[in-house]
Chains A and B, each alone.
Chain A
Amino acid sequence: TQLLEQSPQFLSIQEGENLTVYCNSSSVFSSLQWYRQEPGEGPVLLVTVVTGGEVKKLKRLTFQFGDARKDSSLHITAAQPGDTGLYLCAALLIQGAQKLVFGQGTRLTINP
Chain B
Amino acid sequence: DAMVIQNPRYQVTQFGKPVTLSCSQTLNHNVMYWYQQKSSQAPKLLFHYYDKDFNNEADTPDNFQSRRPNTSFCFLDIRSPGLGDAAMYLCATSRDSFLAGYNEQFFGPGTRLTVL
Contacts and interface: CB of A to CB of B under 8 A. Distances in A.
Contact of A100 (B41, B101, B105): B105
A88 B40 CA distance: 11
B107 A42 contact: yes
Nearest to B107: A42
Interface residues of B, number: 26
B63 interface: no
Contacts of B102: 30-31, 33, 48, 50, 92
A92 B107 CA distance: 16
Given A40-B112, A42-B110, A92-B97, A98 B43 contact: no
B53 to A, nearest CB: 10
Nearest to A49: B102
B45 A99 contact: yes
A41 B42 contact: no
Contact of A43 (B6, B45, B107): B107
Given A30-B101, A43-B90, 12 more contacts: A31-B102, A42-B6, A42-B92, A42-B109, A42-B110, A44-B107, A48-B104, A50-B101, A99-B48, A102-B43, A104-B41, A105-B42
Interface of A: 30-31, 33, 35, 40-45, 48, 50, 86, 88, 90, 92, 97-100, 102-105, 107
